[in-house]
Amino acid sequence: MSMTEPVPEQRTDASRPPPPPRRLSRSLWPAISRRLRLLYFRARHVRARFGEGCDIRPGLSLNMGEDATVIFGSRCVLDRDMTVECSGSLEVGGGTIFGHHCTLAARESVVIGNDCLIAEMVSIRDHDHRFDLGLDTPVRDQGFDCRPVRIGSNVWLGCKVTVVKGISIGDNAVVGANSVVTHDVPANAVAVGAPARVVRYRVPPE
């Protein structure tokens, strides 16, 4: 800048116009829409229980049988396009997060603990179609083989994990992406693969 050019006027804080008021969409709207979605799902599925602060994203498909119990604890997140089918009992502890397109299917019992991280497209079912009644009966007409599934607290299931009937996964376990869990996973274990095998423990086993 040459010495002859005028020096631009310095504006002090006092001379600045006040900032515009924060827009509703940037501040309150996410919380309001979360609350409205929770109220909507509570009203629509009066027999299911969703705890305070649950964040139910669009596209949840919830099908409950007549005597089914469905309980999600407080502050659970059900990301978009999740499917829940329950003709038995499904209980999920508080603070557990489900990624998009997860499937939970309980004909008998599925229990998931607190503060789990269930990544996208995970499938957890407590039953299989039976296929032992011969070849003349279509598999779809052979009924179901059901065994309860138990998943502890603070468990992380990577994306696209499949948990089949009768499985227990202990607290703090981690299961790698794309794994198929066909055997129990102990507490604190890291298991990967199809079928999932324990590759190490997060802390040395006692």
Ligand X SMILES: CC(C)(COP(=O)(O)OP(=O)(O)OC[C@H]1O[C@@H](n2cnc3c(N)ncnc32)[C@H](O)[C@@H]1OP(=O)(O)O)[C@@H](O)C(=O)NCCC(=O)NCCS
Q: Report strand pairing: 89-92 vs 69-72.
A: parallel
CB of 199 to ligand X, least distance (A): 5
The answer to whether 75 and 51 have CB atoms below 8 angstroms apart is yes
Dihedral over alpha carbons 19, 21, 27, 32 (to 10 degrees): 180
CB of 140 to ligand X, least distance (A): 31
Nearer to ligand X, 149 or 174 (CB): 174
CB of 53 to ligand X, least distance (A): 20
How far is it between the farthest Cα atoms of the chain? 99
Q: Which residue has the CB atom at the shortest distance from ligand X?
A: 176
Instruction: Give me the catalytic one of 45, 100, 129, 183.
Output: 129
Nearer to ligand X, 87 or 162 (CB): 162
94 phi and psi angles, rounded to 5 deg = -65, 150
Nearer to ligand X, 103 or 178 (CB): 178
CB of 117 to ligand X, least distance (A): 6
* Binding interface with ligand X (CB under 6 A): 117, 119, 158-159, 174, 176-179, 190, 192-193, 199
Catalytic, 129? Answer yes
- Which residues are paired to 83 by β-bridges? 61, 103
Residues contacting residue 47 through CB under 8 Å, at least 6 positions apart: 64, 68, 70
Nearer to ligand X, 90 or 122 (CB): 122
**Distance spanning both ends of the chain, measured CA to CA:** 72
Q: Which residues are catalytic?
A: 129
